[in-house]
Amino acid sequence: MIHFSFFINHLFISEKQTIHIVNTNFIKVDNIFRLRSYHFALFRLLFVTYDTKKIGSYGLDRSDLMNERKIRILQSKSTLAANHPVNHFVSIVRRVRNSVVSLIIKKKPRIEAFYDAVWSQLFTENEHDSYQFGSGFIVHPKGYILTNDHVIEQADKIGVKVEGVKKIFLAEPLLREPEKDLAILKIHPSRPLKSIALDSSSDVELGEWVIAIGNPFGLEQTVTTGIISGKNRPLQAGKRVYPRVLQTDAAINPGNSGGPLINMLGKVIGINTLIIFPSQSISFAIPINEAKPLLDKIKDE
């Protein structure tokens, strides 16, 4: 059985109203939990196929013509569906997903333990260790990753899973800005990685569509969608002040922290960071422009 525990802080909206702000990265795992059993469930797929036959120039009756017409209509609808604007989401996700990474953070000295055959390349199971999930995204082909500082601030070890790469990388915190809740990690890949493009968060409009990709509850490469619900929201979570976060109704959960919020151009406009708990569809992302001064320090690499 899995128990979830969150870092809960208070945001004082007024003298009479208090809501809870939750950093979206911490999960406590009781007993042994294997991601692989979660990820690779067996599904049965049923394929509908058409057994077409050659039709001559004669010998057709009305039923034959109607059947042929039905097939053509179905094919036409399928073609229209493939070109439907909604499927623009599919092309964006295909383009950016290899740039989104999953993080697992080894911490001490909690009692809960986590074990998985993949992650055990880096981590040895210990009853006194605790682990948390997080997300990040590649901002430079040489292995630079942007994430939230609160994801890695108490890390003993940081494991990074890159989509399409079997190896689990051990990351080192390279640059940190705790006051902005931003951090850059460095891994050492054997080949250049695919980085994701950044946009300007100052151009974000209310109501525009966005995509969140991350590692909620250890479910790697989870994709959710929503819109921009608000801009320039001032929030405080614990000692950290977030002066102008983006608000979205895209589903963001523990483990999403540090992952990208992406616009319809396939570019990052924010770093998923906070949720209000309890709430429905109220999540917050640090505008990507807040991270650009930190990213400038690695642009010459």
Task: List residues with catalytic annotation.
Answer: 150, 181, 257
- Can you say whether the dihedral through the CA atoms of 289, 295, 297, 301 is positive or negative? negative
Helix, strand, or coil (residue 31): coil
For residue 6, which of 259, 238, 245, 240 has the smallest C-alpha distance? 238
Q: Which residues of 95-126 are buried (b: 16+ CB within 10 A; e: fewer)?
A: ebbbbbbbbbbbbeeeebbbbbebbeebbeee
- The DSSP code sequence of 187-206 is ---SSPPPP--B--GGG--T
For residue 22, which of 290, 287, 299, 276 has the smallest C-alpha distance? 276
Distance CA 142, CA 161 (A): 15
